[in-house]
Amino acid sequence: MCLFCDIANSDKKDNVLYEDDIVVAILDLYPESDGHTLVIPKKHYEDVYEVPDDVLMHMFNVSRMVAKKNMDKLNQKSIQFHINYGEAQAIKHIHLHSFEKLNGTKKYSVDEIKDILK
């Protein structure tokens, strides 16, 4: 089984910011900036060409909603949405990143971010 399947379907909810029947949104354990979030479908799809359009749109809508909340709570001014493909995709399970990119600030630990975003 793949790492993101394990995470998306786990009962452990430490880093979960949002969850429904289709996706889970979690804080990235190796963030590029404060609030770096991953939206991961619970069903395994390897990449952007395998995931159905309705699931991809749902991933984006959830990411947009969570990113807005994160930006407000962290006082961020920008957001970037990103999907890796091919050799750039370290884990072969599609996931959508959202993170502040212009400043790329990391002031807090993931645990501190969890407390801020609650």
pLDDT in tens, the chain (118 residues): 788 888 888 877 778 999 999 999 999 988 988 999 999 999 999 999 999 999 999 999 999 999 999 999 998 888 999 999 998 888 999 999 999 876 656 788 888 888 888 7
Residues in CB range of 91: below 8 A, 6 or more apart = 2, 3, 4
pLDDT of residue 103: 60
CATH of the domain at 73: 3.30.428.10
pLDDT of residue 23: 97
Q: Which of 43, 61, 64 is nearest to 52 (CA)?
A: 43
pLDDT of residue 117: 86
14: how many CB neighbours lie within 10 A of its CB? 10
| Cβ density class 18-30: b for 16+ within 10 Å, e for less | eeeeebbbbbbee
pLDDT of residue 109: 86
Among 36, 58, 93, 95, which one carries the catalytic annotation? Answer: 95
User: What is the domain range of residue 23?
Assistant: 3-117
Q: Is 95 a catalytic residue?
A: yes
Q: What is the DSSP letter of 105?
A: -
Domain count, the chain: 1
CA separation, residue 10 to residues 3, 6, 37, 42 (Å)? 10, 6, 17, 10
